[in-house]
Amino acid sequence: MMLALPEPLAGMSRRLARAVPFRPFRLDLPQPVVSFSFDDFPLSAAENAAPVLEAYGARGTFYFADQLADRHENGQLIAGRAVTADLAERGHEIGGHTSSHINVQRVAPDCLIADASANTSAIAALSGQAPSSFAYPFGVVSINAKRLLAHRYAGLRGIQPGINRGWIDLAHLHAQELYDVSLPLLRVELLLDDLQRRGGWMIFYTHDVRTQPSSIGCSPAHFAAVVELVTQRGIAIETVANVLYRAGVSMPGWRRIG
Ligand SMILES: [Zn+2]
């Protein structure tokens, strides 16, 4: 069942949802850290980004909506179950992204829970463990979704830009888009300057990783250059799950990934 609010109300609800912390948490990390995450996620991200991270001894976080597997989304072929299982086997984190990639603001509570549970089961079946973190599809956050999902994952990521530091909301982690069209290396340098000066946790997210990427993707060359910059500065790269774990976020059934 779809629940559609008139757009002015829906917009207000999203703004309120972003502003109200559901799981306030004091993030206290001794060193700055960066995570790389991939939403949906296209096969190209698995093929072109995972090996780059591995070459630096690092791992990424791949947000998997199981019903998109082997299908096309935004013109991109989405990775299938075998590829996803292989990534997990190699130590990458497979995060939750709902089963059918639903807009959490437009679905009834029981449907959202059923969909998220199906996604958790699918991920557990192929990776051997339930997802520790979650990314809101389309970056849409609602009060209801936060209330329903906040305690099902150690951390939930949106697309609101910013470095996570000090008091954060585990039900809405901030993230920085990593797209060729909007984040040139000079801007990455400035963000990393800030990260190193003031500490915290920067989560990058992108979608496809291929030459001539989509407007919400990243080229392999750009991706490699950003990973290189982070590494040159001595900043650690860790999965979202591992940063949460190291920060002391407690979750039942928690296991370290990667
Ligand atoms: Zn998505």
The half-sphere exposure of 145 on its side-chain side, counting CA atoms within 13 A, is: 30
β-strands 201-206, 33-40 pairing: parallel
CB–CB of 28/124 below 8 Å?
A: no
**pLDDT grade for 246, boundaries at 50, 70 and 90:** very high
Rounded to the nearest angstrom, the distance between the alpha carbon of 197 and the centre of ligand 1 is 31
Q: What percent of the chain has a predicted confidence (pLDDT) above 70?
A: 95
Q: How far is the CA of 140 from the centre of ligand 1 (A)?
A: 10
Residue type, 164: N
* Segment 144-158, tens digit of pLDDT: 999 999 999 999 999
State the average pLDDT over residues 92-99: 98
For residue 232, how far is its CA from the centre of ligand 1 (angstroms)?
30
| C-alpha dihedral (154, 157, 160, 161), degrees to nearest 10 | 90
Torsion, Cα 81 84 90 92, to 10 degrees, reads: -150
For residue 40, report the distance from its CA to the centre of ligand 1, in Å: 4
Residue labelled with tokens 């096309």: 72
Residue type, 198: R
According to DSSP, residue 20 is labeled S
Question: What is the CATH code of the structural domain delimited by 30-247?
Answer: 3.20.20.370
- Give the model's pLDDT for residue 74: 86
Q: What is the pLDDT of residue 4?
A: 62
- Give the distance (Å) from ligand 1 centre to CA of residue 233: 30
pTM of the predicted model as reported, rounded to 2 decimal places: 0.92
Confidence of residue 1 (pLDDT cuts 50, 70, 90): very low
Specify the pLDDT at position 13. 75
120 touches 131 (CB < 8 A): yes
Ligand 1 geometric centre to CA of 63 (Å): 8
d(CA 158, ligand 1 centre) in Å:
10
Residue 96 parent element (H or E): strand 93-96
Dist. CA 68 → ligand 1 center (Å)? 9
Residue 108 identity? A
Q: Which residues of 52-61 are buried (b: 16+ CB within 10 A; e: fewer)?
A: bbeeeebbbb
Q: What are the pLDDT digits (tens) for 47-75? A: 999 999 999 999 999 999 999 999 998 89
- For all residues of the chain together, what is the average pLDDT? 93
